[in-house]
Each structure stands twice: as C-alpha cells, then as structure tokens.
Chain A
Amino acid sequence: MSLRNRPLTPLAPRHRAAMVAAASRHPLTAFALVFVALQVLLAIGAPWLGFQDPFQQVMVQRMKAPNALNLLGTDHLGRDVLSRIVHGYRTSLLTSTAAVGLALVVGGTLGMLAAYYRGWFERITMRIMDVFFAFPILLLAIGVIAILGPGIEGAAIAIAIVYTPIFARLLRGPALVICESEYVLGARAIGASDVRIVFHHVLPNLTSVVLVQTSLLLSAAVLVEASLSFLGLGAQPPVPSLGLALAEGRNFLLLSPWPAIFSGLAILFLSFGFNLLGDALRDSLDPRLRAV
C-alpha cells in the first residue's frame, strides 16, 4: 500500500509516553477502555483463571450467601455464582460480538454501497432497511427466534438481523459525504475499481464512526441478549448465561437473592462499560461529534 493511500487519520500512539499522554487528555476514555478490557479478558480467560467448575452441583451447598469458599455465594443447584457469572460473560460477549460483527459487515457494506452507487440501488436498499427498522427491536428479535428456535445461535442471528439496518443507516450518512470528497473523485479518475474505492478510501475514513457505534451497539446487544435469555429464548440450561441466571434466581428470590442480584450487576457492568466507551470515544476521536 503506497503512502498516498493512507487514510488521513492520526496514527495510533505506539510509545508508552504517547499512550500516557493520550490517556491523561481523555481520562474517561482511558477508564472506559480499562473497564471494558478487564471484563473482556476475564471472559476470554475464564477457563484458565482457576475458577470453580461452573457446572459442578453441590447439593448440600445450595443457595449460600457469599462466603470464603464461594465469593459470590451459590445458586439453587449449589453451583458457584462467581464462576457462573464469569462464564456467563463468555456467553454474553460471544453472542453479542458475533451478532454485532455480522450486522456491521452486512449493514455497513450495504450502507456504504448505497452511498456510493446512489440511484435505484440506494432507494431499494434503504427502503428494505426502513421496513426492518419499523419493528420494535425486541419484538423483531423474538419473531426471528420464533422461526429459528430458542438458543444462543438463534439469539445471535436475531440480534444481527435487528442491527443490520441500524448500521446501514448509521454508515450511509457519513459515507455520502466522503463519496462526494475530492479524494474519492481522484481515485475514480485514476481508474480505481468500485470495490477498491469503497473498501480502501471510504471505509478507512469511517473508522471513528464505526468504532463509536460498534461500542454503543454492543452495549445495547448485551442487554438484548440478556433479555432474550431471561425470557427463555436465548441461552438454554445448563449454559452459563447472565440473563438465564437472573430468570432462575428470580424463582428463589426470597430464599437467596444473591444469584439474581450479582447476575444483574454483571449485565449492567458489561453494558455500561461498552456504552461509556462509545460515548467517550465519540468525544476523543472526533471533536465535531462532541456531545455537549
């Protein structure tokens, strides 16, 4: 890739000093990044970090309050709540990232192509997106799961379908502006192919929009996934899942509120982290988008 094709975005800070400087300029972004990274690392490393077996049922140790052996207590089947939650993070993150990733690829591509080609392609694509957009989010997801059947895969596909039109709309707007720019005109003039222009010239300039919106939508996807699992439409027992744990814990609320309380807090932390990250990134990446 020649130097000329490099997008005009600041290079990522490579040195520790530069990173510290960036973090001190944007303390909230740095905090959000660390907060999210900790949770993601916990989820990825869950099987190797020495947590108890999330499936191990100890019937004599059922519904215990937090104690030295089980830091967050045990659930109605005597399973370690901390371990269930950490492994629940895995399920939640896996489902949400897969879904949002798929929606980004499909919806983002459609949005960019609509902005690039304009004309009938844009009109038809965006009309179809409008129709999907007309459904209340959770209702569309439930409808998709009614067809596919409950489960993690069904939930992931349902969330991906719900978020595809959102990404298409979000990227089409800024892409329209970029497609009118002189460097896209220039690329076209030297005979670059459509695919090359869209993916080498338009896409790199959408990086900050993509990062911000992906983070915000991940935050929402975590909540949708938890809602679906709570309703019994997402993860199925005995898969460790935050939403499912909340639904199960609800039945034993007055005997032991701990599994329900901690699972809900975990959902909140995960969703909060991504939302704060997206919100803070919006300020630090693009001052023009700065929220007042």
Chain B
Amino acid sequence: MSRRFLTGRLIDLGIVLIGVSVLVFLMIRLIPGDAIAIMLGANAEVTPERMAALQARLGLDQPLPVQYLSWIGGVVRGDLGTSIWTGRPVLDEIVANVWPTLQLTLLATLFGAGLSIPLGCFMAEARGRISEVVVRIVAIIGLTIPSFWLGIVLIFLLARYFPGVSALGYVPFSEDPLGNLQRMALPVFALSLPMLANLSRLVRSAMLDALGQDYVRTARAKGAGRRRVLYVHALRNALIPFVTSVGVSVGYLLGGSIVIEQVFAIPGLGRLVLGAISERNYPLVQASILVLTAFFVLVNFAVDLLYALIDPRVRVT
C-alpha cells in the first residue's frame, strides 16, 4: 500500500471524525431550555440559580468554540462526561453495557456475511427466468422484513412450542458459554437476515458478472477445474464490492441492534441509549452516539484499507 494512499485515507478519517464530534457536541446545545429544567430532576425545585448552576456544570455558559475545545479535550483523554442521574462517568456505564452489543453485532456480521457467500454462489448457479424472479422476491422479503417483528414472532413460536427454552435476556459468555450462545441465536438471526439477503444477492450478481469476464474464460481455457474457476478466480473478484457492503452493513447492524436488544431484553448499548433518552440523561445519550459512530467510522476505515489489499487498482488513486 502506497504511503500516499494511506495518508489520504488518514486525512479523510480525521475530517470525518472531527465533523462527527462537532455534530455530537452541538446536539446537547440544541436541546431546548425546558429540557435543562427537566434535567434538574423531579425532586429539585426549578429556580434560575439552579438552572444557571446546571448550565455551568454542563459548560453551557461559555462561548461555543471554547466549549467544544474543552469537551473534545476531555473526550480524547477518555472523559466523556458524567451521567446526570448517577453522577458516574458515562464511560463506565458505556463499558458496562458494550459487550452484549459488540457480541450481537459481531455474530450477526459473521453469520450474515459468512452465509451469504455460499448462498450467493448457489444462487448464481440457479439461472433462468422463473428462478431469477423467485431469487429476487425472496431476497427483497429478507431485506424488508422488520427485524423486530421477526424477533417477536420467533419469541412467540419458541414460547408456544418449546416453553422450557429461554430466549430472553443475556448471560455473559464467560459465565455460561452455552446459555450465552443459546440466547444469542434468535437475536443474531433476526438482526442479520436483511444483511444476509442483501449480501447474498450482491454476491450472486457479482459472481455472474465475474463469470462473464475474460480472465474466467482464460482460466477455463488453461484447464482449471470448475470449482477452482468458481471459488478462486471468480469469487476473489466478486468479493470486492462485497467487502465494501459488509462495512456499510455494520452501521445497519449497530442501529438494528438497538431495536433487537429491546425485543430480546438484552442489556446492551441500545437499551442504555433508550433509557437515557427517556430519563433525559443527555450526556449519556451524547457519549453513546459518539462511541458507536466512531466505532462505525473506524470499521469503514479498516474496510477501505482491506479493499485496497484485495484490489490493487484502488491503491493507485
């Protein structure tokens, strides 16, 4: 990978991260004033002095650029603010809730992306008018099926036909590996189905595309076996759009996990954010959004680099 390519990407990364942090920073400043009053809590009387004190605590009484610099300085040192209600650093609350979300996202990515390659290759072999329409309709159903509805239906079916199996809640993998995976199975399936539908369709069309290219004909002509042509020559080239799509899908999974955690009562970041919104704990909302988005941006940065490793043509520009 050329140094020029890498510096270019690093500059892009820096600009996007700064932009994201500015937006997230502005978020708490855009909240209407009466919300500040609510943040004072039900038990405290709202007086102008108390309002001013809270605004000072949140740093809302200083000019915006000063506020931003002191806030971002804290963020870089790992100080994401303190929770309005518990007074604990929000970073602690995020760390305490991050593992279920990360595990859910990771397993869903592995399941969705992993299964989509054989499924896409299989679908690429099914050609013809009727099977093309069937593939398309099934893929679109997979893409548009509401994951939270699917989750609810799965819970209902499990409760009705296998009343002994618990599907809700979360047990750390370190405590009970089997129980952990058993409880993760349904949420992972519900969460990753749209990704699976999207990616397998993409793999299918990329495979069909690749199979029509000259290098595949050359590989066939020199006597490579059918499997070798399919999985070495065609698949490697079909993977290029695939990798980008996986990166973009992670953003969908991070958002979708918020909903799925709610359905399956998993104590992850999604539940943390929703709880924080309902109790107007804005520093916690702000910090959670910042952490999840930064994670998504870094995943896509890694995907960009991976992309360059797979496709040498990208490195030049």
List chain A positions with a Cβ less than 8 A from chain B: 28, 127-128, 130-132, 134-140, 142-143, 145-147, 219, 223, 226-227, 230-233, 246, 249-250, 253-254, 257, 260-261, 263-265, 267-268, 271-272, 275-276, 279, 291-292
User: In the complex, what's the smallest C-beta–C-beta distance from B25 to chain A, in angstroms?
Assistant: 12
In-complex Cβ contact of B148 among A146, A227, A279 (8 A): A227
What mask results when residues 227 to 255 of chain B are scored 1 for a CB within 8 Å of chain A, else 0?
00000000000000000000000011011
Query: Are B23 and A131 in contact (CB-based, < 8 A)?
Result: yes
Also in contact, A146 and B277, with CB within 8 A (given A134-B16, A267-B149, A279-B140):
yes
Query: Are B30 and A147 in contact (CB-based, < 8 A)?
Result: yes
Query: Are A253 and B156 in contact (CB-based, < 8 A)?
Result: yes
Known pairs A143-B285, A147-B31; list 10 more (Cβ under 8 Å): A135-B296, A136-B251, A136-B292, A137-B252, A142-B258, A227-B259, A250-B152, A253-B152, A261-B153, A268-B141
Q: Which of chain A's residues has its CB closest to B292's CB? A: A139
Distance of A230 Cα from B256 Cα, bound (Å): 12
Max chain B CB contacts within 10 Å: which of A142, A253, A276?
A142
Distance of A16 Cα from B159 Cα, bound (Å): 53
- Of residues 250 through 277 on chain B, the ones whose CB sits less than 8 Å from some CB of chain A are 251-252, 254-256, 258-259, 262-263, 273-274, 277
Say yes or no: is B182 at the interface (Cβ < 8 Å to chain A): no
Query: Are A275 and B255 in contact (CB-based, < 8 A)?
Result: no
A223 neighbours in B (Cβ, 8 Å):
144, 146
Q: Which of chain A's residues has its CB closest to B137's CB? A: A276
Number of interface residues of B (CB under 8 A): 53
- Of residues 202 through 231 on chain B, the ones whose CB sits less than 8 Å from some CB of chain A are 204-205, 208-209
17 contacting pairs across A/B (C-beta < 8 A): A128-B19, A130-B16, A131-B19, A134-B293, A134-B296, A139-B258, A139-B273, A142-B277, A146-B31, A146-B285, A231-B258, A231-B274, A232-B274, A257-B156, A261-B153, A263-B149, A267-B146
Query: Are A264 and B143 in contact (CB-based, < 8 A)?
Result: no
In-complex Cβ contact of B259 among A131, A143, A231 (8 A): A231
User: In the complex, what's the smallest C-beta–C-beta distance from B267 to chain A, in angstroms?
Assistant: 16
Also in contact, A139 and B149, with CB within 8 A (given A131-B16, A147-B31, A268-B144):
no
Q: Which of chain B's residues has its CB closest to A257's CB? A: B156
Query: Are B133 and A268 in contact (CB-based, < 8 A)?
Result: no
List chain B positions with a Cβ less than 8 A from chain A: 15-16, 19-20, 22-24, 27, 30-31, 133, 136-137, 140-141, 143-146, 148-150, 152-153, 155-156, 159-160, 204-205, 208-209, 251-252, 254-256, 258-259, 262-263, 273-274, 277-278, 282, 285, 289, 292-293, 296-297, 300
User: In the complex, what's the smallest C-beta–C-beta distance from A100 to chain B, in angstroms?
Assistant: 15
Distance of A142 Cα from B204 Cα, bound (Å): 34
User: In the complex, what's the smallest C-beta–C-beta distance from B244 to chain A, in angstroms?
Assistant: 14
Max chain B CB contacts within 10 Å: which of A136, A139, A246, A260?
A136
Q: Which of chain B's residues has its CB closest to A276's CB? A: B140
Query: Are A268 and B289 in contact (CB-based, < 8 A)?
Result: no
User: In the complex, what's the smallest C-beta–C-beta distance from A95 to chain B, in angstroms?
Assistant: 15
Query: Are B277 and A233 in contact (CB-based, < 8 A)?
Result: yes
Q: Which of chain B's residues has its CB closest to A246's CB? A: B149
B133 neighbours in A (Cβ, 8 Å):
28
In-complex Cβ contact of A230 among B15, B259, B277 (8 A): B259
User: In the complex, what's the smallest C-beta–C-beta distance from A215 to chain B, in angstroms?
Assistant: 12
Query: Are A219 and B144 in contact (CB-based, < 8 A)?
Result: yes
Also in contact, A292 and B208, with CB within 8 A (given A131-B19, A142-B273, A246-B148):
yes
Which 3 pairs show the lowest CB-CB distances between chains A and B?
Answer: A138-B255, A264-B149, A131-B19
Also in contact, A271 and B209, with CB within 8 A (given A134-B297, A147-B30, A227-B259):
no
Distance of A265 Cα from B16 Cα, bound (Å): 38
Distance of A268 Cα from B146 Cα, bound (Å): 6
B146 neighbours in A (Cβ, 8 Å):
223, 226-227, 246, 264, 267-268, 271
Distance of A143 Cα from B23 Cα, bound (Å): 10
Query: Are A268 and B292 in contact (CB-based, < 8 A)?
Result: no
Query: Are B289 and A143 in contact (CB-based, < 8 A)?
Result: yes
Max chain B CB contacts within 10 Å: which of A146, A226, A264?
A146
Query: Are A131 and B20 in contact (CB-based, < 8 A)?
Result: yes
Query: Are B140 and A130 in contact (CB-based, < 8 A)?
Result: no
Distance of A272 Cα from B197 Cα, bound (Å): 13
Also in contact, A146 and B27, with CB within 8 A (given A136-B292, A268-B149):
yes
A260 neighbours in B (Cβ, 8 Å):
149, 152-153, 156
Distance of A131 Cα from B26 Cα, bound (Å): 14
Q: Which of chain A's residues has its CB closest to B202's CB? A: A291
Distance of A142 Cα from B276 Cα, bound (Å): 11
B259 neighbours in A (Cβ, 8 Å):
138, 227, 230-231
User: In the complex, what's the smallest C-beta–C-beta distance from A138 to chain B, in angstroms?
Assistant: 3
User: In the complex, what's the smallest C-beta–C-beta distance from B79 to chain A, in angstroms?
Assistant: 20
Query: Are B27 and A147 in contact (CB-based, < 8 A)?
Result: yes
Distance of A78 Cα from B292 Cα, bound (Å): 41
